[in-house]
Amino acid sequence: MQNQHTTGSIAEKPVSIIYRWLGDRIFLTVVVALGLSIILLAGAMAWVLTGESGMALKEFGVIGFLTGTTWDPGVQFRFGALPFIAGTLITSVLALAIAFYPAVAVAIFIAEYAPRWLGYIIENLVHLIAAVPSVVIGIWGIFVFAPWMRDTFYFPLYEWAANHQPSLLPVLGSPIGYGMATAIIILALMIIPFTTALTRDAIRQVPKEQREAARALGATKWEMIRMAVIPYSRGGIMAGAILSFGRAIGETMAVAMLIGNNNNFPFSVMGPAATMPSVIVNEFREAVGNLHLSSLMAIGLVLFVISLIVNLIAAYVTRKLSITGGQSI
């Protein structure tokens, strides 16, 4: 009797409006508003960069700006983006080319060969190194790596070329230590942990059954990796490589500190060059003319578009090449 009475009174108790429908309404509205602001933010980036670069693009034309090879903020006030686009693409492609195989090798080593404790240590170390700020790598590059490269490789190479193959000198460029080659090597070192981590994640997705199927056919360990592990994870590995490339494109500080900052074509192997992020970081603070600022914004817009394309390709590759439930798509 009494029990029934209590239950009845709780059920009949009026529930506050917050608990009926208003609370959910408010909550959803707030959450959607916050989500929407991120959408707007991404849109704002495109909008702002386009708007701010309007002056430069109008002055030189889109094609003219993209293909212009002169960057002269001092005398002619002419701005062309080609040296920086080229600098960015060359450094990033070569850095990825250097980094890719070693990075994948480390991932395979962690996943397949290292004893569990060692794999655990290396994996965490890789994540840790990936978190080291770019400027910290940069300071090591400026004071240790670049001078060392200059004394160990660039000078001897330059001397040899001067004595034996003078025609190579313009290709090699001046051996000051700060230049394309140094930037590429540092960039490669910086993206290796990133590529390794993504490859490791891709390998993690390979089902046990695939490995066992290969071993049951009498595959040796390496044959199993070639037969079951790498093909199965190739989508993830490819996407990881592309994302690393995107990372290299946007990498700013260490490159700006090491590439030597030469805004003019032609670039040489060891000589100074520039990339899109490096020119922005170097000149934006000191830019006075509106056209100069607008041109730097336009460089930012180009960087935005290229990064966007790279990210979209990575997403496409992941979807296209990924394997779900043992069935290929």
Partner 1 sequence: MYDISDIKEKAGDQIDGTSGTSGSDKRTEGPATIRMETKDLTVKYGEVTGVRNISLPVYNQKATALIGPSGCGKSTFLRALNRMHDLTRNAVISGEVLLDGKNIYHPKVNPVVIRRKIGMVFQKPTPFPTMSIFDNVVAGLRLVGIRDKNLLNEVCERALRQAALWDEVKDRLSSAGGSISGGQQQRLSIARALAIDPEVILMDEPTSSLDPLSSSKIEELIHELKEKYAIVIVTHNMQQAARVSDYTAFFYLGELVEFGPTDQLFTNPVHQRTEEYLTGKFG
Partner 2 sequence: MKTLRQRNIRDYFMVGLLYVSTIVVLTPLIIIIGYVIVNGISSINIDFFTQELGSPARAMQGRPTGLVHTILGTLVVDSLALIIAAPLGLGAGVMLSEYPDHKLNPLLRVMNDTLNGMPAILKGLLAFALVVKPMGAFSGLAGGVALAFVMIPIIARSTESALMTIPWSIREAGLAIGLPRWRVVLSTVMPAARTGLVTGFLIAFARAAGEAAPLMFTSFGNNYLPNRWTGMIFGPVDTLPQRLYSLAISPYKEWHAMGWAAGVVLLVFVLGLFITGRVLTRQKFKV
Other beta carbons within 10 angstroms of residue 288's beta carbon come to: 7
Q: How far is the CB of 231 from partner 1 (least distance, A)?
A: 4
CA–CA distance from 76 to each of 79, 141, 291 (Å)?
9, 34, 12
CA–CA gap between residue 228 and residue 140 (Å, rounded): 40
Q: How far is the CB of 71 from partner 2 (least distance, A)?
A: 17
What tokens does 203 get? 């390998």
- Residues in Cβ contact with 157 at an 8 Å cutoff, skipping those fewer than 6 apart: 172, 175, 270
Residues numbered 213-272 forming contacts with partner 1, rule: CB under 8 A: 213-220, 223, 227-228, 231-232, 234
Which one of 197, 249, 259, 270 is in contact with partner 2 (CB under 8 A)? 249
Residues numbered 68-127 forming contacts with partner 2, rule: CB under 8 A: 101-103, 105-106, 108-109, 113, 122, 124-125, 127
CA–CA gap between residue 209 and residue 311 (Å, rounded): 32
Contact (Cβ atoms closer than 8 angstroms) between residue 258 and residue 146: yes
Decide: is 13 part of the binding site for partner 2 (CB under 8 A). no
Burial class of residue 257 in the structure, from the number of CB atoms within 10 Å of its CB (0-12 exposed, 13-18 middle, 19+ buried): buried
What mask, x for binding partner 1 by CB under 8 A, covers residues 21 to 50? ------------------------------
Beta strand ranges found along 17-80 (DSSP E): 71-72, 78-79
Decide: is 143 part of the binding site for partner 2 (CB under 8 A). yes
- What does 212 interact with, of partner 1, partner 2, none (CB < 5 to 8 A by kind)? partner 1
Which one of 77, 160, 222, 316 is in contact with partner 2 (CB under 8 A)? 222
Decide: is 140 part of the binding site for partner 2 (CB under 8 A). yes
Contact (Cβ atoms closer than 8 angstroms) between residue 74 and residue 283: no
Which one of 53, 88, 210, 278 is in contact with partner 1 (CB under 8 A)? 210
- What does 249 interact with, of partner 2, partner 1, none (CB < 5 to 8 A by kind)? partner 2
Decide: is 211 part of the binding site for partner 1 (CB under 8 A). yes
What residue ranges bind partner 1 (CB under 8 A)? 116, 209-220, 223, 227-228, 231-232, 234, 323, 326-328
